[in-house]
């Protein structure tokens, strides 16, 4: 008999009252391969009406004690999924950049046993109107990760990701970056020999400015220091595909 599969979709949110309802309504109520789909919003210290809107929709909301940053919100969601016996955990954003219908694309490789972590490749070079300078910085970040992790990293900062239960358990105990999780979770997965895949998706653009990242300079410094901290000592990182 096939075991019942449970999917968790987590949305870290900070002052998202303008978009959170649409983001939740865009999510699928069922996904092929799963017997149940549960949605949870991790409230990262919002001071607007985000929480009231989420609860008004009947969606579970986990409150952080204050505004910590998306790294800690991400980890709290993983811990919730693990404790509730979820087989796959999907992380998505509240800004409507990603499409709920694509959740099937990023969960399928985990269900069929070919990946432990799946990251959506936003194919930014194909997005009409995407700012050239922003595209260059995104590509530079992915290239840096590719060189140091010794593999092809197509979209290192994409927040649309799916994790197997074993991968989530590994990350929940090791993610320490309070500000970000994207590059750190990739490095940890590499170190632990987790299989990583990138799956192309189409995104909605433009979207509003991120509320989880409030300083590009600090974010860039944090990104590089995290990547170097994991990749340089012994040059041991290198994930499997």
Biggest distance spanned by C-alpha atoms of the chain: 53
Query: Are the C-beta atoms of residues 167 and 90 closer than 8 Å to each other?
Result: no
CATH level 3 topology of 6-235: Spore Coat Polysaccharide Biosynthesis Protein SpsA; Chain A (3.90.550)
pLDDT at 73 over 70: yes
pLDDT band at 55 (very low <50, low <70, confident <90, very high): very high
The reported pLDDT for the residue numbered 105 is 98
Average pLDDT (23-42) is 97
The pLDDT of residue 223 is 83
**pLDDT at res. 151:** 86
Strand order through the sheet with 196-200: 60-63, 36-43, 6-13, 88-91, 161-164, 117-121, 196-200
């Amino acid at each position: 008999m096939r075991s019942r599969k449970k999917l968790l979709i987590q949305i870290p949110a900070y002052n998202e009252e303008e978009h959170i309802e649409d983001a939740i309504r865009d999510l699928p109520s069922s996904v092929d391969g799963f017997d149940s789909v549960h949605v949870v919003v991790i409230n990262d210290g919002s001071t607007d009406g985000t929480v009231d809107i989420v609860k008004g929709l009947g969606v579970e909301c986990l409150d952080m004690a204050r505004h910590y940053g998306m790294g800690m919100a991400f980890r709290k969601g993983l811990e919730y999924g693990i404790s509730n016996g979820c087989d796959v955990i999907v992380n998505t954003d509240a800004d409507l950049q990603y499409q709920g219908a694509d959740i099937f694309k990023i969960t399928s490789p985990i269900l069929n046993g070919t990946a432990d972590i799946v990251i959506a490749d936003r194919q930014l070079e194909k997005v009409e109107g995407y700012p050239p300078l922003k595209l260059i910085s995104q590509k530079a970040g992915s290239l840096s990760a590719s060189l140091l992790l010794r593999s092809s990293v197509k979209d290192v900062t994409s927040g649309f990701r799916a994790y197997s239960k074993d991968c989530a358990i590994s990350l929940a105990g090791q993610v320490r970056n309070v500000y970000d999780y994207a590059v750190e979770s990739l490095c940890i997965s590499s170190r632990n020999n987790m299989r990583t895949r990138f799956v192309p998706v189409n995104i909605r653009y433009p979207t509003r400015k991120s509320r989880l990242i409030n300083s590009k300079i600090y974010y860039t410094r944090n990104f590089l220091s995290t990547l170097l901290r994991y990749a340089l000592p012994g040059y041991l990182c290198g994930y499997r595909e």
